[in-house]
């Protein structure tokens, strides 16, 4: 059973957070292992397994990037530890950002760091624009594989940007 089936919600790239939260609390109460202490070992193990999946699903649904990753994996479009080739022009832009980051670190300048964060935010907005509608209006059975592949490209670009930001904060 996938996370969407467990939470009884449609497959989407943008789950309704209040609906997810309500369902999480309901499922957490229903499958909490403490309520199964008087049951046989199989039922206890089943409850523990479902409880674990409820927690994993909730964690995924709380993070938009993780939800996108999960849906792409469900559709067979993304594999764990996949070597994805990003476009050369994007990689060149990332090299420039990395160089700016190194310079900002060497300077120790707060102004340069803020300028870099602004540049990263601009790139993030730029890569999100072409997939915004696909992500926000995803509909099972209507969104094409080609559209999902463009979301995959966005996912990997954003993942690259997150690494730059993480390096910057060290």
Q: Give residue-wise pLDDT tens across range 38-91.
A: 778 888 888 889 999 999 999 999 999 999 999 999 999 999 888 999 999 999
* Model pTM score: 0.88
Question: Is the pLDDT score of 162 beyond 80?
Answer: yes
Residue 93: exposure state from Cβ atoms within 10 A (0-12, 13-18, ≥19) = middle
User: What is d(CA 128, CA 151) in angstroms, rounded to the nearest whole number?
Assistant: 9
- 3-class secondary structure, 142: coil
Q: How many CA atoms lie within 13 A of 39 on its CB side?
A: 14
Comparison of pLDDT for 53 and 115, the residue scoring more: 53
Question: Is the pLDDT score of 35 beyond 80?
Answer: no
pLDDT interval class at 127 (50, 70, 90): very high
Average pLDDT over residues 138-159: 96
Identify the pLDDT of residue 32.
Answer: 85
CB 26 within 8 A of CB 8: no
Instruction: Tell me which DSSP letter residue 33 carries.
Output: G
Class of domain 3-62: mainly alpha
Identify the pLDDT of residue 122.
Answer: 94
pLDDT interval class at 113 (50, 70, 90): confident
Task: List the chain domain ranges.
Answer: 3-62, 88-168
């Amino acid at each position: 059973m996938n996370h969407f089936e467990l939470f009884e919600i449609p497959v989407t790239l943008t789950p309704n957070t209040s609906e997810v939260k309500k369902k999480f609390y309901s499922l957490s109460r229903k499958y909490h292992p403490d309520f199964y202490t008087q049951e046989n070992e199989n039922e206890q193990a089943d409850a523990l397994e479902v409880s674990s999946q409820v927690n994993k699903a909730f964690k995924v649904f709380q993070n938009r990037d993780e939800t996108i990753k999960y849906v792409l994996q469900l559709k067979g479009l993304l594999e764990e530890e996949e070597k994805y080739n990003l476009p050369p022009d994007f990689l060149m832009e990332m090299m420039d950002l990395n160089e700016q980051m190194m310079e900002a670190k060497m300077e120790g300048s707060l102004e340069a760091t803020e300028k870099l964060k602004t540049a990263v935010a601009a790139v993030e907005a730029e890569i999100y624009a072409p997939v915004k509608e696909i992500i926000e209006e995803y509909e099972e059975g209507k969104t094409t594989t080609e559209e999902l592949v463009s979301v995959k490209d966005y996912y990997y670009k954003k993942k690259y940007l997150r690494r730059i930001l993480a390096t910057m904060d060290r």
